[in-house]
């Protein structure tokens, strides 16, 4: 019992981690399922068809490539901009510094869905068609606060 009390935080952490990974495990298990129709809700039979040709479904590999490019570009740009903003806010005293800090922390407290829908509304109101550029801008704006606070 002493051992359990001494390691309670670690045990609770592992249980939470296992609970959070359950959806990933379900997706992995059902990726080996061969459903009769288009829906993969219940187990039918074992198959490796999804793994023999991962790019067989049209658009899957294109989407993956686009996601990786957007992630890489957003990381680089937000790191550069965030570093400059962090140095400016951290080293210089200026009027409105408290408001700037509030605006930096605000996206971190806002749920991603709210921020995404707000940016979509802003882009549409400005007449900017949704596409790759707007997705890239949204990712950069989301990552920027984390970079500034970290640096």
* Angle value at C-alpha 65, between 62 and 71, nearest 5 degrees: 140
Check: pTM over 0.85? Answer yes or no.
no
pLDDT digits 0-9 by tens, 32-90: 988 887 787 888 889 888 888 888 878 889 999 999 999 999 999 999 999 999 998 88
If pLDDT is split at 50, 70 and 90, which confidence band does 20 have?
very high
CA distance 99 to 96: 5
What is the H or E stretch that residue 21 is in? helix 8-30
């Amino acid at each position: 019992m002493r051992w359990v009390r001494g390691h309670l935080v670690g045990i609770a952490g592992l249980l939470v981690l296992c609970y959070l990974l359950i959806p990933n495990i379900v997706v992995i298990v059902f990726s080996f399922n061969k459903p009769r129709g288009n829906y993969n809700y219940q187990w039918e039979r074992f198959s490796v068809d999804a793994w023999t040709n991962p790019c067989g479904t049209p658009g899957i590999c294109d989407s993956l490539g686009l996601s990786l490019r957007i992630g890489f570009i957003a990381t680089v740009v937000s790191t550069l901009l965030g570093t400059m903003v962090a140095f400016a806010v951290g080293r210089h005293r200026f009027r409105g510094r408290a408001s700037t800090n509030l605006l930096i922390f605000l996206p971190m407290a806002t749920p991603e869905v709210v921020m995404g829908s707000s940016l979509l509304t802003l882009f549409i109101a400005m007449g900017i068609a949704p596409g790759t550029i707007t997705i890239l801008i949204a990712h950069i704006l989301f990552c920027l606060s984390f970079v500034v606070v970290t640096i």
